Every structure is written in structure tokens, then in C-alpha cells.
């Protein structure tokens, strides 16, 4: 997902580090690669 950094993404308004079932894998340029378990998520990021 597009992001300036791994910490720039939230899920339902909470930091992804606190979201069960979501694991940070790596940054690829301006994108954060995450592994997510099955479920419903509402991700948000600010790209400026």
C-alpha cells in the first residue's frame, strides 16, 4: 500500500503495530508491504 513510511499507515484509526493479524514485511520504494490474515480492514495513509 502507498506510504511514506511503515508507521504512516493506520487501521481503523489505530497504528498498525497494534492491529492483530497485520504484519509489516518491508518497504518497496513508496509502498509498505504487509501480510494480513483474513478479515475486514480499513487502512488509511497520508501521502504528501
- Determine the structural domain holding residue 32 and report its residue range: 6-45
In a domain, 41, yes or no: yes
CA atoms within 13 A on the CB side of 47: 8
Q: Cα separation of 40 and 28, whole Å?
A: 24
The region that residue 45 occupies, defined by phi over 0 for left and psi between -120 and 50 for alpha, beta otherwise, is beta
Q: pLDDT digits over 3-48, tens only?
A: 888 888 999 999 888 899 999 899 999 999 999 999 999 999 876 6
What's the number of domains the chain is made of? 1
In a domain, 28, yes or no: yes
Q: What is the pLDDT of residue 48?
A: 61
In a domain, 25, yes or no: yes
Residue 11 neighbours by CB distance under 10 Å: 19
In a domain, 1, yes or no: no
Evaluated on CA atoms 15, 18, 22, 25, the torsion sign reads positive
Cell of 16: 498498525
Amino acid at each position: 500500500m502507498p506510504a511514506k513510511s511503515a508507521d504512516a499507515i493506520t487501521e481503523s484509526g489505530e497504528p498498525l503495530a497494534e492491529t492483530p493479524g497485520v504484519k509489516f514485511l518491508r518497504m518497496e520504494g513508496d509502498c509498505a508491504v504487509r501480510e494480513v490474515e483474513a478479515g475486514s480492514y480499513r487502512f488509511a495513509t497520508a501521502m504528501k
